[in-house]
Amino acid sequence: MLETLPVELIGKILGDLHLLEVIKMSQLSRRLRLVTADPILNVWRLPILRNLRSEEYEESLKHLSVYTTVPRHNWVEILSMARATYILFETTLPNLKDAEWEDAFSRRFLPSWRKWRKDSNWKTAFLRLLYQTWHRSSTSCTTNEAWTKYIVLNRNGTANLLEASSRGFSPTLIFDDIRLQQNMLHLEMRARVVVQFADIRVVALGTLNLPRSSLTVNSNAKALLAPSCIRTDDAEMPLWEYSYLNHPLPAQTHIEYPFNTPGGADDRRALQEEAESEGLEWVGGLMLVTQIIAQEVNAAPLQSEQPQHEILGGRQQYASFAWEDLWAVAPWLEEKITKQIDGPGLGL
């Protein structure tokens, strides 16, 4: 009989069930209710994660918050990973502490986006920004962000935080101007996805070439796009000394970032090895932008490098990418970048 088993084994069995079946089991007896309500065993986590990683959510997930046996911290993961439209228009939201809403905010959005909180509580800030991001993914609205920030990693080790008008913001045109200034307009532009999150992805624009001199090579570009190890002035720090990124939390396609996520979608290292086998290096500047993605794109398989028109073509919306976002995505670059420059110029 199930109830005679140790609670750890009961929890393991329940974790393999569908969400609706776990709900039913939680209502069968007092002991099973206690087991399902245990926040340490947390038998709900695996069924919830299976839902979030699938394209179709179980109907029982929609009103899961009405069941008191579900530990509230499970909702931090749901708010971090579920589709925006599902959170905004379909599901019944639970009563969470302000700290839990703040954690969900940090796991879903870039660090620089905390500025949108202003004087509101974290629940209001989360839902407002989620709606704003979803709205911008399907429209050309730029009312809430008139200027879009982006970062350029320079070949001399410095980096510039720049901005352009959000209306008509075009990374390709901006990067064409960068290539023109560096006499590299004849080289092919490469667009790569660095990492993808629930609503956005960080895209890098750069150029690969057979360098005539090491002075043209952008070492920070390789450190960002294919960090097999983290080099410093005095030593070499293996990538495994860094932890998985979880604030913000990557999408399933890049869930093990900054390490490679197996399965074919995250092929940053393979692309880098292919380029190096041909003697190609990243030269000139590397531009980093935040691209807002549509929900149907979010669920689809994604390659790190696609034809430029597939990543940047059509009607695309972009959001700001600032210093704190770069340190979150690539903390090892904070020591490698020799100078952080706000605005254009050399920062002299």
**pLDDT score, position 101:** 97
Mean pLDDT for the stretch of residues 210-215: 84
Indicate if the pLDDT at residue 237 is higher than 80. no
Cα separation, 32 vs 102, in Å, equals 32
3-state secondary structure 161-218: EEEEECCCCCHHHHHHHHHHHCCCCCCCEEEEEEEECCCEEEEEEEEEECCCCHHHEC
Indicate if the pLDDT at residue 66 is higher than 70. yes
Percentage of residues in the chain with pLDDT exceeding 90? 62
Banded pLDDT at 299 (limits 50, 70, 90)? very low
**pLDDT score, position 238:** 60
Mean pLDDT for the stretch of residues 240-262: 86
Q: Is the Cβ–Cβ distance between 318 and 284 less than 8 Å?
A: no
Mean pLDDT for the stretch of residues 301-314: 51
Mean pLDDT for the stretch of residues 34-50: 93
Indicate if the pLDDT at residue 310 is higher than 80. no
The letter for the amino acid at 323 is W
Cα separation, 348 vs 346, in Å, equals 6
